[in-house]
Structure 1
Amino acid sequence: MLALDGHDVDGMGDVTSFSLEDLGRYDLLLLDLSLPGLDGTEVIRALSRIPVRPQVVVISGKGEDVLSAVADAARLQGTPILAGFTKPFEPAALLRLVNDGCGVAQGPVRDAARTDGASIAAAIAAAMDRDALAVMFQPKVDARSLGFCGAELLLGNELPGIGRIAVPDLIAAASRDCALMARLSYYTIRAGLQGCRQWHARGYEGAVSINLPLELLIAADTPRMLVRMVVQEGLTPSAVICELTEDALYDRSSESLMALAQLRIAGFGLALDDVGQRQSGLLQLARLPVTELKIDMDLLHRARHSQKAQDIFSALVKLGHRLGMKVVAEGVETAEDLEATRRDTVDLIQGYLIARKMPIGELLAWLTAQDEKQDGRIGTDEGDRNERAGAGSASCIAGG
């Protein structure tokens, strides 16, 4: 079915017939965890040892708990898990996953751990010197109307001098040098503010969401510096939402709480990111002056096939609303995801169904294109969907 749809597919019953280097050539690996004569988890372990890895769709008939455990373990090892399917499943669902471009068109991800950290750091500094470090924007839209409500600032996956690299690995390399990490943070913040100013100038409202590292958050002069940068771009602090992770806040609660209070006093919005990864920390919400709750995309994706995940997702949305926060769902990639967010009255959404992250020029063009759509719908035909996904055939390998 994938081959008939235009993808380059190699199929086999015995994945051991391919070397690890062979597997690294593929964009996507469809891996049954119960292969004849082979434990699929061993393949997952082996993938963690190669520098360039395919994204993986794991398949199992042993229940969603087993599937989730393996997927979580793989992610912790740095292996990119695209999705999990519990047998039996509809083949059309897999085809939609691939064609909707859930990462496949981007190709394999390089393991930066195999690249010298000092070389990555030097490449980051050199790229900033030339103003050549790519920053991207992923739109956030109203879950009902799909109207533009702002965008999240993200780093690109290409690093001049290194090539394609996973963003977490890029951040990890930069974080080894406090001065470089601070410079990278302010570089991206400045780019985010400039992008926000550009869409405001075109008449589009909405804040820019920026990820604020813990080290920058607790620095004494950060609130003052951020206000100064905002004013220099002709914006107000209310046009900026600072995103922070649960772990960053809980690990340094006293200092971070004081910094959060300063940012709120200055007028910045605050978002708690990746909610759902650490449910045990939800009681801390009563102590945090956050204005926005961002539910981690993995929870939404699990909710496609898991009643437990659906119940947790719904509970988080209700909790956020009860606490007076706007609730954002990340990773909205299918029409079913969109319907789920609407059913649970999520406020804002972002994800591949709406748009990928993109440079500011492409974002402005995307906004214009949305205005030109007479019926206000997104992705109503195959052409729209392919355009959003960065259409193109993907190289796949099916194991099982």
Structure 2
Amino acid sequence: MRSNRMLIIDDEPEIGSLFARVADECGYQTVMTTSMTEFEERVRDWHPTHIVIDLHMPIVDGVEVMRFLAQERSKAQLIIASGADPKVVESARQLGLERGLAVVGTIRKPARASELAEVFLEFRKGTDWIGAADLTAAIRDGQFTLEYQPMVRRPDRAGSGIWSDVVAMEALLRWDVPSRGRISPAEFIPIAESLDLMDAITDMVCQSALTQLAEWNRKGIEVPIAINVSAENLHRADLVERTFAKANDVGIDPSSVVFELTETAAMGDVVLAMDILTRLRLKGFRLAMDDFGTGYSSLVQLQRLPFSELKIDREFVAECARSPQSRMIVNAMVNLAHNLELTVVGEGVEDRRTLDVLAEVGCDIAQGFLIARPMAADAVEKWLRTRSVWPSEEENEGASGSETEKPASSD
């Protein structure tokens, strides 16, 4: 059975039928409708992984459709089709992102079959075999594992060049499939969200990470751990009790745990998200806004939600040593965070020049391939024993500054 399910709504049946035919040829299960009533039923009962919406429809327009999808907390990949002014289409795309929807592309109407096929194949590639049974089996059979990437503190003395103690390890989810190798979280997390499996996956991640942290503590390794949280985890108020119980069971102080979430994660049911996140802080857990600066509501979320730290998105960090504009943006983010009494993490550090810029603008913590690649738990112990101060004076002199491939993470 095909796991890619595309739902299409268009008020012109011939155009909708063309979209459906091409999607079917590209390996999707497809349903096309001109009715908003049927569309709503299919979203709730069929759980499409991909949705194509016509922006300009006479009865219910595409903006209203996106409002409904946001209310349903849809995690389907959304494609907007329209022949309207490109500025209008871009505004609609940004609105969809603002509402927390996964708007992955737009199609200019009228479109040829070859153009549609190119778009549909791009978003189907690599995920057509993943279904609920595969993900459930992965949880059951231990195919999911964690790797850990360290974060290090800025030098206390300006210009010393030594980023001293390790302040946290971020737990990153990995899926190794015997017959297919490693599958990127960017491929399977959206599918898990659409299939309502994120609670099970996050519970597994929390249990594994907290158990590992307890083991490190018994060995005298006391370093906090960061865990990514999906938007789908913020729809059940018992997340707080479940997580606190897991920490208590293995003897972990909640202050040793940082939950990372993107700003869009809290945009579904805002009141419930505020309830959950505030209670997590009351229990002693820390909260980090991940990928800061990439969305459209960062400042609103910083004001509204009880974050203790923020992580500047790698897109800004990667350019801050080469682009004066990016450096100014990073500097402004650091100053804003400090004025709000938040700790700042620069993620995606891949060369020495970038690390130096982060130190100059006062960024508190750095994370990235230059520090260390994600590693298995046993490798962390060895790394910590041999790299208590990073980088060494020799590495300061010999840093190459070359860029490398970015790691996949679970958010």
Q: Which amino acid aligns with 2:228?
A: N
Give the one of 241, 255, 264 matched to 1:247.
264
Unaligned runs of 5+ in 2: 1-102, 106-121, 156-162, 406-411
Number of the residue aligned with 2:82: none
TM-fit CA distance, 1:385: 9.2
Q: Which amino acid aligns with 2:191?
A: A
* Alpha-carbon distance between aligned partners in 2 of 1:265 and 1:380, rounded to the nearest angstrom: 41
- Structure 1 residue 154 corresponds to structure 2 residue 172: yes
Number of the residue aligned with 1:225: 242
Kindly provide the CA deviation profile for residues 297-331 of structure 1, in whole angstroms up to 9, marking residues without a partner as x: 11111223322221111111011111011111101
- Structure 1 residue 197 corresponds to structure 2 residue 214: yes
Flag the 1:282–1:378 CA change in 2: closer, same or farther, 3 A. farther
TM-fit CA distance, 1:375: 8.2
Number of the residue aligned with 2:145: 134
Structure-1-length-normalised TM-score: 0.64
- Structure 1 residue 175 corresponds to structure 2 residue 193: yes
Flag the 1:374–1:270 CA change in 2: closer, same or farther, 3 A. closer
Conserved in 1, the CA contact under 8 Å of 2:148 and 2:375? yes
* Alpha-carbon distance between aligned partners in 2 of 1:239 and 1:329, rounded to the nearest angstrom: 20
TM-fit CA distance, 1:138: 0.7
Give the one of 303, 326, 331 matched to 2:320.
303
* Alpha-carbon distance between aligned partners in 1 of 2:279 and 2:404, rounded to the nearest angstrom: 40
Q: Which amino acid aligns with 1:126?
A: A
Number of the residue aligned with 1:353: 370
TM-fit CA distance, 1:186: 0.9
Q: Which amino acid aligns with 2:133?
A: A
Q: Percent identity?
A: 30
Number of the residue aligned with 1:271: 288
Q: Which amino acid aligns with 2:171?
A: L
What is the number of residues matched between the two proteins? 281
Flag the 1:134–1:221 CA change in 2: closer, same or farther, 3 A. same
SS of corresponding position for 2:130: helix
* Alpha-carbon distance between aligned partners in 2 of 1:167 and 1:155, rounded to the nearest angstrom: 7
TM-fit CA distance, 1:177: 1.6
Conserved in 2, the CA contact under 8 Å of 1:123 and 1:159? no
Conserved in 1, the CA contact under 8 Å of 2:350 and 2:369? yes
Give the one of 107, 113, 117 matched to 2:124.
113
Conserved in 2, the CA contact under 8 Å of 1:260 and 1:289? yes
Conserved in 2, the CA contact under 8 Å of 1:142 and 1:349? yes
Kindly provide the CA deviation profile for residues 164-202 of structure 1, in whole angstroms up to 9, marking residues without a partner as x: 322111101211221x22111111111111222233223
Question: 112-121 or 168-177: which moved more?
Answer: 112-121
Unaligned runs of 5+ in 1: 1-74, 78-110, 391-400
Flag the 1:366–1:375 CA change in 2: closer, same or farther, 3 A. closer
* 1:289-300 equivalences in 2 (<5 Å): 289-300=306-317
* Alpha-carbon distance between aligned partners in 2 of 1:374 and 1:315, rounded to the nearest angstrom: 26
* Alpha-carbon distance between aligned partners in 1 of 2:134 and 2:313, rounded to the nearest angstrom: 30
Number of the residue aligned with 2:348: 331
Structure-2-length-normalised TM-score: 0.62
Kindly provide the CA deviation profile for residues 344-372 of structure 1, in whole angstroms up to 9, marking residues without a partner as x: 1111111001111111111111111214x
Flag the 1:157–1:279 CA change in 2: closer, same or farther, 3 A. same
Number of the residue aligned with 1:363: 380
* Alpha-carbon distance between aligned partners in 1 of 2:329 and 2:232, rounded to the nearest angstrom: 31
Conserved in 2, the CA contact under 8 Å of 1:112 and 1:165? no
Number of the residue aligned with 1:184: 201
* Alpha-carbon distance between aligned partners in 1 of 2:367 and 2:235, rounded to the nearest angstrom: 28
Conserved in 1, the CA contact under 8 Å of 2:149 and 2:171? yes
Number of the residue aligned with 1:5: none
Kindly provide the CA deviation profile for residues 98-148 of structure 1, in whole angstroms up to 9, marking residues without a partner as x: xxxxxxxxxxxxx88324545354333223222231211111111223311
Number of the residue aligned with 1:46: none
Number of the residue aligned with 1:38: none
Conserved in 2, the CA contact under 8 Å of 1:206 and 1:239? yes
TM-fit CA distance, 1:262: 0.8
SS of corresponding position for 1:333: coil
Give the one of 120, 124, 138 matched to 2:135.
124
Identify the structure with bigger relative contact order (alpha carbons < 8 Å, sequence gap 6+).
1
Conserved in 1, the CA contact under 8 Å of 2:214 and 2:250? yes
TM-fit CA distance, 1:206: 2.5
TM-fit CA distance, 1:285: 1.3
Number of the residue aligned with 1:314: 331
Q: Which amino acid aligns with 1:258?
A: D
TM-fit CA distance, 1:214: 1.9
Kindly provide the CA deviation profile for residues 4-43 of structure 1, in whole angstroms up to 9, marking residues without a partner as x: xxxxxxxxxxxxxxxxxxxxxxxxxxxxxxxxxxxxxxxx
Number of the residue aligned with 2:228: 211
Number of the residue aligned with 1:393: none
Flag the 1:380–1:121 CA change in 2: closer, same or farther, 3 A. farther
* Alpha-carbon distance between aligned partners in 1 of 2:400 and 2:382, rounded to the nearest angstrom: 15
SS of corresponding position for 1:234: coil
Conserved in 1, the CA contact under 8 Å of 2:263 and 2:297? no
Flag the 1:194–1:389 CA change in 2: closer, same or farther, 3 A. farther
TM-fit CA distance, 1:160: 3.5
SS of corresponding position for 2:210: helix
Q: Which amino acid aligns with 1:139?
A: P
